[in-house]
Chain A
Amino acid sequence: MIDDARLPAPAPRATIRSVATDDLSDGELIGLTAEGDGDAFEILYRRYARPMFGLALRRLGDRGRAEDAVQETFASIWRAAKSYKPERGPGGPWLYAVARNAIVDRGRARNEPAVETPETESDDPGPDEMAEKDWVSWRVHRALEDLPESQRAVIELAYWSGFSQSEVAEHLGIPLGTVKTRTRAALGRLADLLEELG
């Protein structure tokens, strides 16, 4: 019988630490951020800076204040990443909640009236409608960040530049058939992404 005490101590169990890459989910990146992983934090920043700025701009109505709010929100995410519980849901909604709270707090902190739209009338959206639009825009704009540039260009020109498919083809210098192929591929990819994001 071998005396265990005389055997060399077992080698420590090898561990493989996750490396932040663009393939990781938002939740995994938040987890790495909580461990102080700057690369993970930067990927989150790239994915969410634009949706967050859009949310802040809609809520605060001023680019300067919105820019400050985004900076503060990312600082909050850095500090609060440890509080994220993956078992409670995907990372995207958690980030949205942190952003919304930070932006709303910022709006309340300044005792300033909201910037008014020129000739504003009663057709402004109510709080529920605004919240719904915020959430839809957040998810869609986040998903857009993951589209290949070639697909994103056709979506942006078709939806937000008012271009017909023929005009998109002319502007990009590509055949009309390619525009249609890219558009359909982009919509399909967006559908996948939106399902993944929760």
Chain B
Amino acid sequence: MNREPDFRELVGEDVEPEERERLEHVHDLLVAAGPPAELPPGLVDPDAEYAEAQTYDFLPRRRTGAVLALAAAIALIAFLGGYLTGQHKGGQFPAIRTVAMRGTALEPAASGTVAIGELTGGGNWPLEVIVNNLPRLPHDGYYEMLLTKNGKPTASCGTFVASGPSVTVRLNAPYNLRSFNGWVVTRHVPGTRGHPAVLTTSIA
């Protein structure tokens, strides 16, 4: 979990006691809930999956309304899921845990996953990072993935560039993961100030 925000800093002092109590309850719930999961592309727009799937001969070609489309999409995706998963497993990164990343306010459309591989004998955690919708940066610009401690970027796991709508890179975390709270991807553009976060996650 990231640094827990200070409730008093968030709402200030000029709040009626009853309202303060109500807001503080929500604050506690937000802290307890943790960050919402980032939806994988297949769940963001099931209708699109349906439309794509309609190219198969054995699937219905004509829509009979949004309701049937969505219901059919769900059934269809479930039906195809095994096949697609089976196809994917051949070259799959051997992850023991996968953590979602979501875009910050700077890149709200961005998303990603961090798949954590088995700890190697040498003390490395191999990572497969998939990022979506990060813009291509100007020449010499790059993204950096760092482990965070108390909400602050602390230890680098490597750098990468975004060359398309979805990029998969293999990185490494040569650290004791228990010492950290999550990851952040920061943007580095020569000639600009600061390295703002574009993706964040936490090890819940």
Contact = CB atoms under 8 A, between A and B. Distances in A.
Nearest to A73: B74
Contact of A37 (B25, B46, B67): B67
B60 interface: no
A99 interface: no
B200 interface: yes
A51 B177 contact: no
Interface in B73-131: 74-75, 77-78, 81, 85, 95-98, 100, 102, 104-106, 108, 113, 116, 119, 125
Interface stretch (B3-11, B51-59, B133-141, B155-163): B3-11
B196 interface: yes
A162 B67 contact: no
A38 B72 CA distance: 11
A38 B26 contact: no
Contacts of A139: 29, 33
A88 to B, nearest CB: 24
B12 A140 contact: no
Mostly, the B contact residues are: mixed
A63 interface: yes
Interface in A147-171: 149, 153, 155-165, 171
B27 A49 contact: no
B22 interface: yes
Contacts, number: 171
Nearest to A180: B12
B36 A50 contact: yes
A161 B67 CA distance: 37
A162 B29 contact: no
Given A115-B97, A156-B105, A162 B68 contact: no
Contacts of A36: 67
Mostly, the A contact residues are: helix
16 contacts: A45-B70, A49-B39, A49-B43, A68-B78, A71-B46, A118-B178, A137-B33, A137-B34, A141-B33, A156-B35, A156-B105, A159-B5, A159-B31, A161-B200, A162-B200, A183-B10
Given A38-B70, A78-B74, A144-B36, 10 more contacts: A38-B67, A38-B69, A57-B100, A67-B42, A118-B178, A119-B177, A137-B32, A153-B105, A162-B151, A190-B29
Nearest first, the 3 A-B pairs at minimum CB distance are A162-B151, A38-B67, A162-B2
Interface of A: 36-39, 41-42, 45, 49-51, 53-54, 57-58, 61-64, 66-68, 70-72, 74-75, 78, 115-119, 133, 136-137, 139-141, 144, 149, 153, 155-165, 171-172, 180, 183-184, 187-188, 190-191, 194
Interface of B: 2-3, 5, 9-12, 15, 19, 22-23, 25-27, 29-37, 39-40, 42-43, 46, 65-71, 74-75, 77-78, 81, 85, 95-98, 100, 102, 104-106, 108, 113, 116, 119, 125, 148, 150-152, 176-178, 184, 196-197, 200, 202-204
